[in-house]
Amino acid sequence: MGRQTVLVITVFLMISTLSCVTVAESLWTDGGKGLYSDKKAASVGDLLTIIIVESAASSQKASTDAKKSSSVSSEPGLGPLLKNLPIMSYTGNDNVKADGSTSRTSSLTAKITVKVTKIDDAGNLEIEGTRFVQTNKEKAEIKLTGTVRPQDVTTDNTILSTYIANAKIAYQGSGPIGDRQKEGLITRLLHWIF
């Protein structure tokens, strides 16, 4: 073998060795999530599950106790006609006592998945979603809107409804069972009159 042949083979081996070099990429990417964690909602279009746990209770009590006494009397008058009038008097008492109280409790527990519709200047997520369920002829609909801080979203991409700012949660139901709970026409008329 000549010197030129050895040189060509050496150059060929060097080129083939360089072409076989592979570049390894990192498994870590900037802003990436952990290998075993779910993707948390962070941009417009992402989905987020809301766990609705709302309850409200209110009570009010009032009482009234009022008393009033009055009396009027007159003596016989002067002159020939007024002398014949007898002594007249009136005495009266008025007592009013009343007690009243009202109380109301309500609770709503549900899960709903909403969509991120906007990200405000502070980085908070504006969310909106609707859930409609129909079973037999009963219909139930939940609508939810509000604003969520990204740091309040848990690792499994859920958040409690108590962490939603400006939350508007509407729940409506209709159907045969709900219709039976409504007052009848005559009952409503009697309530209106009395």
Say how many Å lie between the first and final Cα of the chain, rounded. 121
Report the amino acid identity of residue 32: G
Question: In 9-87, at which residue ranges do the beta strands (DSSP E only) sit?
Answer: 47-74
Q: What is the pLDDT of residue 158?
A: 92
Is 44 or 68 the better-scoring residue by pLDDT? 44
Tens of pLDDT, residues 91-128: 777 777 878 888 888 888 889 999 999 999 999 999 99
Residue 80 has pLDDT above 80, yes or no: no
Q: Is the pLDDT of residue 55 over 70?
A: yes
Q: Are 128 and 116 in contact (CB under 8 A)?
A: no
- The percent of the chain in helix, strand and coil, each rounded to the nearest 5, is 20, 50, 30
For 22-46, letters b (16+ CB in 10 Å) and e give eeeeeeeeeeeeeeeeeebbbeeeb
Reported as a pLDDT band with limits 50, 70 and 90, residue 65 is confident
Dihedral over Cα of 5, 9, 15, 19: its sign: positive
Q: What is the pLDDT of residue 146?
A: 95
| Residues 6+ away with beta carbon under 8 Å from 29 | none
Looking at this protein, which amino acid is placed at residue 85?
L
Task: Please report, as a single letter, which amino acid is at residue 146.
Answer: G
pLDDT-derived band of residue 150, with 50, 70 and 90 as boundaries? very high
Q: Does residue 32 surpass a pLDDT of 80? A: no
Q: What is the pLDDT of residue 39?
A: 80
Instruction: State the pTM of this model.
Output: 0.53
- Summary mean pLDDT of the chain: 78
